[in-house]
């Protein structure tokens, strides 16, 4: 029974599970899924911000993984390989959503006119302190270009190192660092924009209230 085996194979080392999965062993597939689904699901969830889509993408990532597992030779860590698949699945989805076939470079290097990071000298120096909470930051992350988002989620949320991200994203370590920095700067800018919008709303509400009393 599959469920009995799930318990029995609970201690199966990853390498052994990979070997057995390459032979089509159902329990080994499940073991690998149980080992890695949390991180993959979290990655997808952070990237798309929607549980139903994240579930579909998680399933798709593992499906691709299991279809290709016979070709896994261990040149890179299994988790890195899996995350590369997952990131690609998510990026493909986001590309389809945006309705164009943009390259990864475009996804990670938006130009200044299309919402890329701008140096905000001269911008009103609103203090973000106290305004960076889970909800605000998640909203800002959702607005990041997909490439920035991938690097930010992998590094700042999931704790991957730049050399691992470089493998996952098929880019250089320097590129990973640069994208992360731009992502954080863009997030800061988005958070500032949200603060300014909120301040405007507050002023409007206050003046409406004052006008109503007059």
Partner 1 sequence: MATITCREFLNYLEPWMEGERPPDAHAHAHVRTCSHCSSIINDLEMIHSEARSWSVSEQDAPERVWISLRAQLEQEGLIQETIPASEDRAQAAAPRTGWFAGLFPRLPRPVLAGAYLAALVAVAFALSGPVNKRVNEARWLKGTQISTSPLSAQLNFAEQNSNSYVTRSNPVVAASLHQNLAIVDNYIALCEKSVSEDPQNEVARDYLFEAYQQKADLLTQLTERGENVQ
Residues that bind partner 1 (CB under 8 A): 1-5, 7, 24-27, 29-30, 33, 37-42, 46, 54-55, 58-59, 62-63, 66-67, 119, 121, 125, 127-129, 132-134, 137, 141, 152, 156-159, 177-178, 181, 184-185, 187-188, 191
**Distance, first Cα to last Cα, the chain:** 76
Distance CA 72, CA 64 (A): 12
Nearest to partner 1 of 60, 106 (CB atom): 60
Nearest to partner 1 of 3, 213 (CB atom): 3
**Shortest Å, Cβ 201 to partner 1:** 22
Nearest to partner 1 of 7, 205 (CB atom): 7
| Structure token digits, residue 211 | 């006008």
Asked if residues 59 and 50 have their Cβ atoms less than 8 Å apart, the reply is no
Cα 188 to chain centroid, rounded? 17
Nearest to partner 1 of 91, 144 (CB atom): 144
**Shortest Å, Cβ 9 to partner 1:** 10
**Shortest Å, Cβ 188 to partner 1:** 5
Asked if residues 92 and 150 have their Cβ atoms less than 8 Å apart, the reply is no
Distance CA 113, CA 115 (A): 6
Helix (H, G, I), strand (E, B), or coil: what is residue 85?
Answer: helix
Residue given tokens 């190192």 in the structure block: 161
**Shortest Å, Cβ 52 to partner 1:** 10
Question: For helices 26-48 and 78-98, what crossing angle results, to 10°?
Answer: 50
**Shortest Å, Cβ 113 to partner 1:** 20
Nearest to partner 1 of 94, 187 (CB atom): 187
């Amino acid at each position: 029974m599959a469920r009995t085996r799930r318990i029995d194979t609970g201690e199966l080392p990853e390498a052994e599970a990979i070997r057995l999965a390459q032979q089509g062993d159902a329990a080994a597939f499940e073991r690998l899924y149980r080992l890695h689904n949390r991180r993959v699901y979290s990655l997808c969830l952070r990237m798309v911000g929607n549980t139903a889509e994240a579930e579909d993408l998680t399933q798709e990532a593992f499906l691709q993984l299991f279809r290709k597992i016979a070709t896994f030779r261990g040149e890179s860590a299994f988790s890195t390989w899996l995350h590369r698949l997952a990131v690609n699945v998510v990026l493909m989805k986001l590309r389809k959503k945006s309705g164009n076939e943009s390259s990864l470079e475009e996804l990670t290097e938006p130009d200044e006119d299309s919402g890329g990071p701008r140096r905000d000298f001269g911008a009103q120096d609103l203090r973000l302190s106290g305004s960076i909470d889970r909800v605000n930051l998640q909203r800002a992350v959702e607005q990041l270009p997909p490439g920035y988002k991938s690097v930010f989620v992998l590094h700042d949320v999931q704790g991957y190192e730049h050399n691992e991200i470089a493998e996952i994203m098929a880019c250089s370590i320097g590129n990973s660092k640069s994208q992360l920095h731009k992502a954080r700067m863009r997030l800061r800018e988005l958070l500032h924009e949200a603060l300014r919008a909120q301040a405007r709303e507050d002023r409007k509400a206050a003046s409406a209230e004052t006008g109503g009393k007059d």
